[in-house]
Amino acid sequence: MKIGIIGLGKLGLPCAVAIAAKGHTVIGYDTNPEINSKVHPKLVLYSNELNEDCTESIDNMLENTTLKFVDSVDEIIYNSEIIFIAVQTPHKSVFEGSNVMPVEREDFDYTVLVNCFKELSTKIEKQSESKIVTIISTVLPGTLRKYILPITTSKIKLCYNPYFIAMGTVVYDFYNPEFILLGIIDKEAEAPVIEFYNTITKSQVFVTTLENAEMIKVSYNTFITTKIVLANNIMEMCHKLPNTNVDDVMMALKKADTRLISGAYLNGGMGDGGGCHPRDNIAMSWLSNKLNIQNNYYDFIMRKREAQTGFFVDIILEKQKSTGLDIVILGTAFKANTNLETGSPAILLKNLLENIHIQCETYDPYVNQGYKFELQKKIYFIGCKHDVFKTYDFKEGSVVIDPNRYIPLKDGVDIIHVGVGNQILQ
């Protein structure tokens, strides 16, 4: 098929590469003029992005792809059977999860999406041929009917097709989704889009209404936060209860895969982060207030996420009081083995410390590439589960606070595995 993709950022570009690798003719357009350079696209890819079989890096896939970068929306229209819109629907940075949650709440900013669609709709109207347009950007329920349908030409066959992917594994998740979600406006778009996905994956397509699809997308993301908050609440309790271990508790719960679903995201550790989960919870908190929901569930789990990070602050301050050592947060990415910092709970931890006038150093080998970092006798908090930290030779007398419990014990170093209660026994 001839596929056009508008928006070649952290989602659109890896998906464009993945689609091209399946033999489709793919052209992509982005408002950033530098996107035509193969240098710029690499800046939005990730070190652990792999292909379907996890055998080839996406950098290599990009070098070998037939993906063509074009300079205008017109070229997308004239050369595509299906057009995917993958532009951003951002939240303000204060709503990304790296900062203390403000009192106010807001919806996402749909300016880029609306302007993009308006231009696309206007130009499609001027030609005789109808086009299938599929929006994959995240929106709250009711958004597309309110903002997009009023500016949609009759020549657009529209559907909503948000993805369930994780930053850093976009290509793999695109090829191996749990299901394909398709919110249908025009029935004429359904069969061609399903036919397209049959060339990509064997996963089933779940077809539903527009508003259902919008709700399913944000509910999926916010449910992940719920699981992480539950696991981290248990971790905090286990840290304070003798002879308990959060990993043992969660291992048992994961075996209940009939009533408790799967074991994914049921590990005690840092709060969730990234460009989707924290912001989606805060946006759903805004929507709950707008709808006058009696109990704002999303507000609660985000407050609990912050409070759990405050629990780490307490552990750090206790160790600083007894040792007088300086504090270093190792790992500011929100996800292991990447340089992605959006919504990072480690940065939230840093901000919480600074809010009470406690200074700390931060270092991330993926973010601060080229910086020469030297281990000294300090308090180290493992803010991100990078594999390389397991190899660090921490100096004698140092304190290592490990919320993921993966740093090996070492004589002369006080390594605290958070969530293991027997460490507080006298």
Taking every pair of Cα atoms in the chain, the longest distance, rounded to a whole number of angstroms, is 80
pLDDT, residue 262, reads 87
pLDDT for residue 235 is more than 60: yes
pLDDT, residue 426, reads 45
pLDDT for residue 66 is more than 90: no
pLDDT for residue 415 is more than 70: yes
Q: Where are the domains of the chain?
A: 2-203, 219-424
| pLDDT tens, position by position, 282-338 | 898 999 999 898 888 899 998 999 999 999 999 999 999 999 999 999 999 998 988
The verdict on domain 219-424 having CATH code 3.40.50.720 is yes
Question: By the 8 A CB rule, do 40 and 32 touch?
Answer: yes
How far apart CA 27 and CA 164 sit, in angstroms, is 23
Q: Strand order in 180-184's β-sheet?
A: 68-69, 25-29, 2-6, 82-85, 131-135, 156-160, 180-184, 205-209
Question: By the 8 A CB rule, do 334 and 343 touch?
Answer: yes
pLDDT band of 247, cuts 50, 70, 90 = very high
CATH topology classification for 2-203: Rossmann fold (3.40.50)
pLDDT for residue 143 is more than 80: yes
pLDDT, residue 56, reads 58
pLDDT for residue 156 is more than 90: yes
Q: Look at 155-164, 285-294, 412-421 and tell me which has the smallest mean pLDDT.
A: 285-294
Share of the chain above pLDDT 90, in %: 66
Question: What's the rounded mean pLDDT across residues 180-190?
Answer: 94
pLDDT for residue 49 is more than 90: no
- Domain 2-203 and domain 219-424 have a common topology: yes
Question: What's the rounded mean pLDDT across residues 88-94?
Answer: 86
Question: What's the rounded mean pLDDT across residues 156-164?
Answer: 96
pLDDT for residue 219 is more than 60: yes
Residue 291 dihedral angles phi and psi, to the nearest 5° = -85, 0
Share of the chain above pLDDT 70, in %: 92
pLDDT for residue 93 is more than 90: no
pLDDT, residue 86, reads 95
pLDDT band of 31, cuts 50, 70, 90 = confident
Between these two residues, 250 and 62, which has the higher pLDDT value? 250
DSSP letter at 146 equals: I
Q: Would you state the torsion angle of the CA atoms of residues 248, 254, 256, 260, taken in this order, to the nearest 10 degrees?
A: 130
pLDDT band of 47, cuts 50, 70, 90 = very low
